[in-house]
A = this chain, B = another copy of it.
């Protein structure tokens, strides 16, 4: 197995990515890593993995076209290496929009896939259980057919990464009854229903999405992005308010000493860093987008996700699902 890593472009510099690669290689000595970036900054990787030089870094707000033009950037060099070395996966924590577009152009979509989808695992109220939600932001709008294809991708992901044999799949909607929702969601419902999609359970509302009944939730990229970011926002809001609350006075500070372990656990449950990153499903290779503000631990998780997806041969699984 061969994984290409774009080491530049994250908020925390290449050093956290280097630390992650060293850690990952300790546990996975047989997996080849090709690290792309500034050679000096990557000198600590000598003897650990292959290092490939790149001259520039894609800025965080770069658009698709800008990225494609920056041929000597770590992101583009990494994508080129992915193809030329016939590697299995690529991981980057650079600009999301730019990376997804450039990866789609370079890696190409699986034939018959209409649109790629960004998939993210969310924490649920059931300890240790994650729910796979897609699309969370690769698209601005999606047709019913695209929403139907996302089902095959999400199912394959849930099976591959979380080992769920028969994932329970729901459509994100503004009500649970059949016949609810936007025209695209209504039509998608009928596609799932009439084709007897395995594990299709109907609609789910956003308020119930984290309660653990669903293994996979399908939505258009715009709503999915709202769901992802509002979950993130409210979680941060609560954390901030809890902190304020405990700092209020001597008594609340003593109170904090008694519950800090629990608060820490809660924070970890809601911490996206533990879930590694989002993956672009529907492309011909494994494409993982680590969080821009990943620390070494988060980047190791992203590498682990890439590894699981390669081991599970997710690309073939999606191809098979779609051809049925």
A binding-site residues for B, Cβ under 8 Å: 61, 97, 125, 137, 140-141, 172, 174-175, 177, 181-183, 185, 205-211, 219, 221-223, 225-238, 240-242, 245-246, 248, 251-252, 254-259, 262-263, 265-266, 269
Contact = CB atoms under 8 A, between A and B. Distances in A.
A210 B182 CA distance: 25
Instruction: Among A181, A221, A255, find the residue whose CB has the most chain B CB atoms closer than 10 A.
Output: A255
Contact of A207 (B175, B185, B236): B236
B182 A141 contact: yes
Contacts of A248: 262
Nearest to A241: B266
Given A242-B266, A245-B262, A252-B262, A227 B225 contact: no
Given A182-B140, A230-B231, A222 B255 contact: no
A97 B137 CA distance: 29
Contacts of A232: 207
B255 A259 contact: yes
Contact of A174 (B205, B226, B235, B262): B226
A259 to B, nearest CB: 4
A221 B245 CA distance: 34
B258 A233 contact: no
Contacts of A245: 259, 262-263, 265-266
A7 B266 CA distance: 41
Contact of A234 (B182, B234, B257, B265): B234
Q: Which 5 interchain pairs have the tightest Cβ spacing?
A: A255-B258, A245-B262, A207-B233, A206-B229, A206-B230
A174 B266 contact: no
Contacts of A141: 182-183
A240 B227 CA distance: 20
B222 A174 contact: yes
A233 B208 CA distance: 6
9 contacts: A174-B225, A174-B229, A185-B222, A210-B234, A226-B226, A227-B230, A254-B258, A255-B258, A256-B259
